Every structure is written in C-alpha cells, then in structure tokens.
C-alpha cells in the first residue's frame, strides 16, 4: 500500500465518462486530488481518488498538506491511486476567498456539479489555467468504437468546466466524438 504526503494543488470532481457515437454518460463518483509531494518514496505530482464523505468531512481544499496510504487505481481510471485507507491533514490553509479564477476553496457537493452540468474545455486551457480550479475536471473517457464489439474500448483524456459561463479563462474548443474505423459507427 503506497504511502504518500504532500500539498493539495487541485481538488476536483472525479467523473467516469462512457462515450459512444455522439452520446455520453457522466457519473460523479467522488473527488480527485492532485498532490505535489512524495508517493512511495518518489517526489512528483500524482492524482488520488477520494470518496465524497472523506473530502467533504475533512473540508479538503487547495493548499492543505496531507499524508496517508492508498492503493493503485485500475488502468481504466484517470487517477493513479485511490482507496485512501488512512488520511491525516497535517496543515490547513486559511479559508480562501478568490476574487478571480481559477477558483479555490472547499469544492461543493457532487450534487451541485451534477446539477450544474459541464461544458467541454480545451486541454490546453485546462493545463494552462484551470487545473487548480474547483470547477474544472479531467477524466478518462471510455469509448465504444464498434457497437458490434461493445467490450472493445479505447480511452482518452477529456477536460471540462462546471463553472460560470462568463469565466474569461474558458475556451470551448472543437466538439468531441467517437469515430469508428470506417468513420462514424
């Protein structure tokens, strides 16, 4: 069970995404935190999946320092680690009041994200400006490429925004779809 410690540099919803043709289904399954620290003796940044009760119960937010134990996640997940067994909050930042995006602080309940819905956001905007925003999200899209072979799936990263449509950092980018070997399936 890997040991980790470090500072939270992002906390966002953890979302499963299944795509086929132009349809998709989102599932809000918890939160994911990006930690800048040490995992299994190695210094780097890493994503950990965490359940809603723990994230909301501890009021986790950008800037907090943590340590704990977790498990390796499955390859079909965006996060590298999950199943946090022990979590200690070593230091808390003072309550954050942002005046401009990216927005930090304790993220809202998952129902708020579901009710707001998400809009696609370019990977570049996410990487450049939105990675630390509570309204951003990065997820591994699981894609069914051929409806005759539903178990044959491919994966890609997709990025989204649940934030206010007026955010000046928002960039929508091109639409995303699933295309089979012979074009549309």
Cα angle for residues 51, 56, 58 (degrees, 5° grid): 100
> Are 59 and 134 in contact, with CB atoms under 8 Å apart?
no
Shortest gap between Cβ of 32 and ligand SF4 (angstroms)? 14
Q: Give the 3-state secondary structure of 109-146.
A: CHHHHHHHCCEECCHHHHHHHHCCCCCEEEEEEEEECC
- Which region among 3-11, 62-70, 73-81, 164-172 touches ligand SF4 (by CB under 6 A)? 164-172
Shortest gap between Cβ of 12 and ligand SF4 (angstroms)? 9
Select from 15, 34, 55, 130 the one that contacts ligand SF4 (CB under 6 A). 130
- Indicate the residue among 91 and 100 with the shorter CB distance to ligand SF4: 100
- Indicate the residue among 86 and 96 with the shorter CB distance to ligand SF4: 96
- Indicate the residue among 53 and 100 with the shorter CB distance to ligand SF4: 100
Calpha distance 84→31 (Å, rounded): 12
**8 - beta bridge partners?**
35
Site for ligand SF4 in 54-113 (CB under 6 A): 101-103
Q: Which residue is nearest to ligand SF4 (CB)?
A: 163
- Which region among 17-25, 59-67, 128-136, 145-153 touches ligand SF4 (by CB under 6 A)? 128-136
Q: Is 133 in the site for ligand SF4 (CB under 6 A)?
A: yes
User: Can you give the length of the chain in residues?
Assistant: 185
Shortest gap between Cβ of 20 and ligand SF4 (angstroms)? 26
Read off the DSSP letter of residue 58: T
- Indicate the residue among 30 and 101 with the shorter CB distance to ligand SF4: 101
Peptide bond into 117 cis (omega under 30): no
- Indicate the residue among 31 and 81 with the shorter CB distance to ligand SF4: 31
> DSSP readout, 138-182?
EEEEEEE--TT-TT-EEEEEEEEE-S-TT-TT----S-----BTT
């Amino acid at each position: 069970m890997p040991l980790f410690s470090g500072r939270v540099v992002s906390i966002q919803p953890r979302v499963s995404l299944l795509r086929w043709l132009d349809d998709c289904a989102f599932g809000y399954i918890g939160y994911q935190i990006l930690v800048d620290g040490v995992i299994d003796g190695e210094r780097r940044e890493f994503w950990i999946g965490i359940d809603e009760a723990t994230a909301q119960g501890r009021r986790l937010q950008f800037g907090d320092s943590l340590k704990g134990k977790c498990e390796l996640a499955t390859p079909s997940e965006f996060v590298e680690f999950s199943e946090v067994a022990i979590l200690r909050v070593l230091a808390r930042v003072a309550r954050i009041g942002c005046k401009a995006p990216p927005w930090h602080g304790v993220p809202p309940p998952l129902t708020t994200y579901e009710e707001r819905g998400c809009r696609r956001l370019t990977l570049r905007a996410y990487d450049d400006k939105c990675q630390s925003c509570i309204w951003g999200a990065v997820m591994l899209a699981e894609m069914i490429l051929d409806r005759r072979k539903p178990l044959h799936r491919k994966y890609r990263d997709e990025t989204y925004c649940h934030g206010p449509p007026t955010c000046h950092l928002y960039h929508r980018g091109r639409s995303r779809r699933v295309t089979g070997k012979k074009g549309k399936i």
